[in-house]
Amino acid sequence: MSTTIDDRIAELLATYDTPDADAATLLCDRHPADAVAITVIEADLSAHDLTYGHLQRESARFAAALADIGIGPGDRVAVLMGKSAELVVALLGIWRRGAVHVPLFTAFAGPAIALRLQASGARLVVTDADQRTKLSSRPDMPADRGWRVIVVGGAPQGDELSFAELVAGHASDDPAGAPVAVGGDAPLVLLFTSGTTGNPKGVPVPVKALASFQAYLEFGLDVSADDVFWNAADPGWAYGLYYAVLGPLAAGVRSLLLHAGFSPTLTWQVIQAFGVTNFAAAPTVYRALNADGAPVPDGLQLRRMSSAGEPLTPEVITWAEEHLGVPVRDHYGQTEHGMVIANGWGQGVYAPVRPGSMGRPLPGWSAAVLHDERTEVAAPGQVGRVAIRVAESPLMWFSGYADAPEKSAERFTEDGAWYLTGDAGSVDEDGYFAFSSRDDDVIIMAGYRIGPFDVESVLVTHPRVVESAVVGAPDALRGEVVEAFVVLRAGDEGDDDLAEELKQLVKQKFAAHAYPRTVHFVPELPKTPSGKIQRFVLRQRRRGEVQDR
């Protein structure tokens, strides 16, 4: 790491990790009032620019309204909203009061919402009108609710409050709407993990984490002042909240928000019509664009494409290079710390991509692969536990889950020197990391450790395969055997010949012992709302089926 990069990391920390830090100033008020912060795009491609001056005035009005109804520093305010102008105003108003934002993804059903509201101790919920039925009295929602409801985009019912009326009823220079200084260690967000295994856990995201988010925009994504930047991830989840909202606002760069559901056609239209130059999305988005089969529009201006959320399978990289002329670079991180390892685009970190690698640690981070059984760095190429060196990672901000000391302790070695990601992987002699699997997803077959991603990466190279998930199924002789669940292109049902073809493909391109003993053709794979494949659901299903035989 060069001195120049070290200096930049120190500068970012000096900006955000201070005793008098206040989020509203850092994210909004310090930027030029006439500069565009966010462009909100509708499904018909009409758009509305939100300047920092507009966001300052409107969020100050909402903050004053929050003060009037008793919301103060540290209070939890949940938000159940789509990607809209009102969402950005609401978030900045919450942070202006020094309150804590609790994201609720709009695809959540009642039980997931109830869990987060109860676990966070939310005092208030801001919701789009078309989402409020999820908050009504129902078996999965507690009868004695401890929160009030503000409705956006519709008339309030019962004891609900109107967002529009609250904002209109307060002046932008109301002293109650002034920014509240909370300091760099104070929580900005309480974001619950996606729950790929077990119940979601609350991750307190402090104000000082903004240093890490801005560093990723600069070194990982290479977002410049001239870019048209679009991170298509939903802000109900970490990658979208951290890097479509918080990071761009902190850096003062324009970001696009699409106020509509995902479709390949609309995604291409936005990229073309708005001249997107820097695009980031989950692998599922890229796979959908590839599988859609529609021709790539002419005149695209893309110069950077990045992927995060799950490992990037090789067919996406090949497709992007062949059809777009720009590679998609794989990046790695978690809710607990944001992005840590990446095939970075930025100056000083850019390097050729090694096939199958998720890159090297970003500036401000230090990582290694530890042995499975002891706290020692594994040899190059050996699969082990991906871990972060705490003392050598100045951008590290996670210290533990909210109200979960036992779960928090599991994330760190006993001496506190290492943060354990819960992911398995390897690192080569040059420091390039390769993802293998979640620890819980590793398949142990007759003593062999098999990472499902290695097998899945081969399966999806077949032209008839869209997605795959590989799990271990119980086997009396080997302990576990590899089984594959495969989603084919629309209209393709699969047969025994294709199953055999896929088995041979794995033998030829990965390893003879790791081929799937059984191939299941399925219409879809179980996923979290953020698009991560839930292999544990498939494992449980197969174990139940085997036991019932």
Consecutive H or E run containing 347: none
pLDDT tops 50 at residue 170: yes
Supply the DSSP symbol for 132: G
Query: Are 363 and 349 within 8 A, CB to CB?
Result: yes
Worst-scoring range by mean pLDDT, 59-68, 108-117, 428-437?
108-117
pLDDT tops 90 at residue 138: no
Phi/psi-derived region of residue 236, left when phi > 0, alpha when psi is between -120 and 50, beta in every other case: alpha
Consecutive H or E run containing 171: none
Average pLDDT value for residue range 19-35? 98
pLDDT in tens, 338-351: 999 999 999 999 99
pLDDT tops 90 at residue 511: no
Q: Which of 343-347, 369-373, 504-508 has the highest mean pLDDT?
A: 343-347
Average pLDDT value for residue range 148-165? 94
* Strand bridging mode 433-438 / 418-427: antiparallel
Alpha helices in 385-451 (DSSP H): 405-410
The three-state secondary structure class of 408 is: helix
Q: Which residue has the higher pLDDT, 445 or 342?
A: 342
According to the model, what pLDDT value does residue 196 have? 47
Q: How confident is the model at residue 549 (pLDDT cuts 50, 70, 90)?
A: low
Domains (range + CATH), the chain: 54-204 (3.40.50.980), 442-547 (3.30.300.30)
Q: Which of 68-82, 196-210, 311-325, 476-490 has the highest mean pLDDT?
A: 68-82
According to the model, what pLDDT value does residue 194 have? 61
| Among candidate residues 105, 95, 96, 101, the one with its CA nearest the CA of residue 240 | 105
pLDDT tops 70 at residue 137: no
The three-state secondary structure class of 272 is: helix
Percent helix, percent strand, percent coil in the chain, to nearest 5 = 35, 25, 40
Give the Cα separation of 63 and 74 in Å (integer): 14
Percent of residues, the chain, with pLDDT higher than 90:
69
| Side-chain half-sphere exposure of 383, counting CA atoms within 13 A | 19
Give the Cα separation of 291 and 256 in Å (integer): 24
Give the Cα separation of 432 and 373 in Å (integer): 22
Average pLDDT value for residue range 127-136? 91
Average pLDDT value for residue range 135-161? 84
Q: How confident is the model at residue 198 (pLDDT cuts 50, 70, 90)?
A: low
Worst-scoring range by mean pLDDT, 46-50, 134-138, 228-232, 496-500?
134-138
Percent of residues, the chain, with pLDDT higher than 70:
95
> What's the pTM?
0.84
Q: How confident is the model at residue 548 (pLDDT cuts 50, 70, 90)?
A: low
According to the model, what pLDDT value does residue 141 have? 75
Query: Are 319 and 304 within 8 A, CB to CB?
Result: no
According to the model, what pLDDT value does residue 448 have? 58
pLDDT in tens, 293-330: 778 899 999 999 999 987 787 778 888 998 899 999 99
Q: How confident is the model at residue 292 (pLDDT cuts 50, 70, 90)?
A: confident
